[in-house]
Amino acid sequence: MNAQTSFFGQPQPHFNGSDYIPVLDQRRLTGQLHEIKSLMSDGKWRTLGEVESATGYPQASISAQLRNMRKVRFGSHTIEKQRRTAGQWEYKLL
């Protein structure tokens, strides 16, 4: 595995941010992204709490990865959002 290829055999996504350190964060964030995308690929509506229960990742990380999936460099995926109840949102990957 080289610096340009993930353990999934695909090019690694380009993460960034003031606290991002590639050697410490790239593998973890790539794994999160792929696992959340895999779960959401069935097109079912899920709250952040439901994704957390299924993956074990914190809701803040899940929310960030859903935002990442919308970005061009992460595939320009369509993530729909709707209110499930007062104060609770659910998300679906198309």
Containing structural domain, residue 75:
22-93
Spatial CB neighbours of 50, under 8 Å, sequence gap ≥ 6: 90
CATH code of residue 57: 1.10.10.10
Q: Is residue 40 part of a domain?
A: yes
Question: Residue 6: pLDDT above 80?
Answer: no
Question: In angstroms, rounded to a whole number, what is the distance separating the alpha carbons of residues 1 and 72?
Answer: 24
Tally the domains of the chain.
Answer: 1
Question: Residue 80: pLDDT above 50?
Answer: yes
Question: Residue 86: pLDDT above 70?
Answer: yes
Spatial CB neighbours of 56, under 8 Å, sequence gap ≥ 6: none
Q: Is residue 29 part of a domain?
A: yes
Instruction: Answer whether 0.75 is exceeded by the pTM.
Output: yes
Question: Residue 10: pLDDT above 70?
Answer: no
Q: Is residue 2 part of a domain?
A: no
pLDDT of 17 reads 86
Distance separating the N- and C-terminal Cα atoms of the chain: 31
Q: Is residue 47 part of a domain?
A: yes
Q: Computed over its alpha carbons, how large is the radius of gyration of the chain?
A: 14
Q: Is residue 48 part of a domain?
A: yes
State the chain's maximal CA–CA distance in angstroms. Answer: 46
Give the model confidence (pLDDT) of 12-25 as tens digits.
Answer: 668 988 899 989 99
Q: Is residue 17 part of a domain?
A: no
